C-alpha cells in the first residue's frame, strides 16, 4: 500500500494534483491547513480513499484534532502537530508515540520536511505542499508488514 501524505496546502491545489499524479497512491492523507483543499482533492479523486484532520488555520471544532488509524497491524496517528507543540520540540510527540504504541506519527505544521525513526516509531512531516518555492510531500509504503517513509520535493 502506498500512502501520499500532504500538509499545509494553503490553497495550492495545483501542487496537490501534481503529487497525486506523480505517486498514484492507494490512500491520501491530508494533515490540515487548508481543510477545503483536502475536500476539493478528494472530489477530484473519489475512488482513492482519503483521510484528513484539521490544522491550526482550519476552523473545524466538530472535527477531531487527531485520529488513530490502523493500517493492517500498524498503529498510525495523524494530526496537524500544533497540539503537540512540534514547532518547539518533538518531546510531546515522542511521549504520545510511546504511550499509544504507535508505528507511525504523521504531522505537519512546521512546513519543514522530516523523517525520523525513534525506536519502533516512524515520525514523518511531509513539509508544505503549498509552498511555492520548495513544495514537499511524504510517501509511506506499507509492504510485507513493514513501513517505510520518505519525503519528496515536488519537481
Q: Above 90 in pLDDT, residue 155?
A: no
Instruction: Tell me how far apart the alpha carbons of residues 59 and 133 are, in angstroms, rounded to a whole number.
Output: 26
Cell triple for residue 155?
A: 519537481
Q: What is the pLDDT of residue 70?
A: 97
Q: How many domains does the chain have?
A: 1
Residue 3 · residue 106 · CB < 8 Å: no
Mean pLDDT value across residues 77-91: 96
pLDDT in tens, 111-124: 999 999 999 999 99
How buried is residue 47: exposed, middle or buried, by Cβ count under 10 Å (0-12/13-18/19+)?
A: exposed
* Complete DSSP assignment for 58-72: ---TTS-SEEEEEET
Can you give the pTM of this predicted structure? 0.97
φ, ψ of residue 100 in degrees (nearest 5):
-100, 5
Domain residue limits at 80: 2-153
- The C-alpha cell that represents 10 in the structure block: 494553503
What percent of the chain shows pLDDT beyond 70?
Answer: 100
CB proximity list for 139: less than 8 A, separation 6 or greater: 2, 3, 4, 5, 23, 25, 149, 150, 151, 152
> What is the end-to-end Cα distance of the chain in Å, rounded?
23
Q: If you average pLDDT over every residue of the chain, what do you get?
A: 97
Q: What is the pLDDT of residue 55?
A: 96
Work out the percent of the chain whose per-residue pLDDT is above 90: 99
Residue 67: count of CB within 10 angstroms of its CB:
15
- Say which CATH number the domain at 106 has: 3.60.21.10
| Chain segment 128-146, per-residue pLDDT in tens | 999 999 999 999 999 999 9
Nearest alpha carbon to residue 147 among 125, 126, 127, 117: 117
pLDDT(66) > 90: yes
Residue 57 has pLDDT above 90, yes or no: yes
Once rounded to an integer, what is the mean pLDDT over residues 83-94?
Answer: 95
Amino acid at each position: 500500500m502506498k500512502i501520499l501524505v500532504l500538509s499545509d496546502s494553503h490553497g495550492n491545489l495545483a501542487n496537490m494534483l501534481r503529487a497525486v499524479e506523480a505517486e498514484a497512491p492507494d490512500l491520501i492523507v491530508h494533515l490540515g491547513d487548508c481543510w477545503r483543499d483536502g475536500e476539493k482533492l478528494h472530489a477530484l479523486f473519489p475512488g482513492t480513499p482519503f483521510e484528513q484532520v484539521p490544522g491550526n488555520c482550519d476552523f473545524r471544532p466538530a472535527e477531531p484534532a487527531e485520529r488513530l488509524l490502523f493500517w493492517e497491524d500498524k498503529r498510525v496517528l495523524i494530526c496537524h502537530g500544533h497540539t503537540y507543540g512540534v514547532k518547539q520540540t518533538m518531546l510531546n510527540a515522542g511521549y504520545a508515540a510511546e504511550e499509544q504504541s504507535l508505528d507511525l506519527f504523521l504531522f505537519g505544521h512546521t512546513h519543514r520536511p522530516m523523517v525520523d525513526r525513534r525506536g519502533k516509531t516512524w515520525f514523518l512531516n511531509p513539509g508544505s505542499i503549498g509552498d511555492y518555492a520548495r513544495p514537499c510531500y511524504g510517501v509511506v509504503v506499507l509492504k510485507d508488514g513493514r513501513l517505510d517513509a520518505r519525503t519528496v520535493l515536488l519537481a
